[in-house]
């Protein structure tokens, strides 16, 4: 499948624990094939945690990926249903995905430079079967990555709700997060893609985000 030159977007929804499945079920009716649910909670008071509604209460963070047009339509529909503007009803937003590969979809290397800006770093997310994170890291380091973080994730819902695009999300997956200099991103993504055969259905998903500001990276 050739690349789709529409910008892909990541829909992020933060809701109270137990609401994530309802978000995915509703989103499915509005053209989103499924997503991932992560559990989060605040460990201390801070303006950032309060902004993200993670302070002092268990939350679920829902990720759903789609093309820009579909993502905007689905988010509007979710807002109408769940009324995020009301207190304690949640937060929802979208982020651009310069790269999204796998699961039968390909939104390939749409860089921020095309929109008049330059991102110095990218966050690369690779979602693979449980136990394959080490293979991902080996391929990434071979291509110049300095390291990464492994996050355990799970699909949520019944039947075909546990999907990100058309990739089945089993009870557990591993998400490898790598922060790389933008000049290295394509090389890292390409090596991981080739070594793990990401283009084959069910083998994984890769997506990237531009990082505007970053601290703690030498």
pLDDT in tens, 121-159: 888 889 888 889 899 999 999 999 988 877 776 554 444
State residue 164's pLDDT score: 56
- Torsions phi, psi of 57, nearest 5? -150, 145
Question: Per DSSP, which regions of 29-139 are E strands?
Answer: 36-40, 59-67, 91-97, 99-102, 105-107, 121-129
Domain that holds residue 170: 8-211
In the chain, the number of structural domains is: 1
Over residues 160-174, mean pLDDT? 56
What gap in Å lies between CA 73 and CA 112, rounded to an integer? 23
Determine, yes or no, domain membership for 170: yes
CATH for 54: 3.30.70.120
Please check the confidence at residue 2 and state whether its pLDDT lies above 80: no
The overall pTM is greater than 0.85: no
Position 125 in a domain: yes
Does residue 1 sit within a domain? no
**pLDDT higher for 60 or 199?**
199
In which element (H, E) is residue 149 found?
A: strand 149-155
Any domain includes 218: no
Least confident of 66-70, 114-118, 151-155: 114-118
* Residue 216 lies inside a defined structural domain of this protein: no
Of 87-96, 124-133, 166-175, where does the model show the most confidence?
124-133
Higher pLDDT pick, 155 / 120: 120
- Identify whether 78 is part of a domain: yes
Tell whether 191 is covered by a domain. Answer: yes
Residue 174, domain member (yes or no): yes
């Amino acid at each position: 499948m050739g690349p789709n030159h529409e910008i892909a977007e990541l829909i992020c929804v933060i809701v109270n624990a137990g609401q994530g499945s309802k978000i995915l079920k509703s989103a499915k009716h509005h053209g989103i094939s499924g997503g991932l649910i992560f559990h989060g909670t605040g460990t201390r008071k801070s303006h950032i945690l309060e902004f993200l509604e993670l302070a002092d209460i268990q939350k679920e963070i829902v990720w759903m990926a789609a093309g820009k047009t579909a993502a905007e339509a689905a988010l509007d529909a979710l807002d109408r249903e769940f009324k995020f503007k009301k207190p304690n009803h949640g937060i929802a937003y979208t982020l651009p995905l310069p790269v999204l590969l796998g699961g039968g979809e390909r939104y390939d290397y749409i860089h921020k430079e095309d929109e008049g800006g330059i991102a110095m770093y990218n966050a690369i997310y690779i979602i693979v079967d449980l136990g394959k994170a080490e293979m991902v890291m080996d391929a990434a380091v071979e291509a110049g990555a300095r390291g990464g973080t492994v996050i355990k994730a799970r699909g949520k819902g019944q039947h075909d709700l546990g999907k990100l695009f058309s990739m089945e999300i089993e009870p557990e997956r591993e998400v490898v997060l790598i922060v790389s200099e933008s000049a290295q991103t394509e090389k890292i993504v390409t090596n991981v893609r080739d070594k793990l055969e990401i283009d084959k259905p069910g083998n994984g998903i890769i997506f990237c985000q531009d990082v505007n500001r970053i601290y703690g990276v030498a």
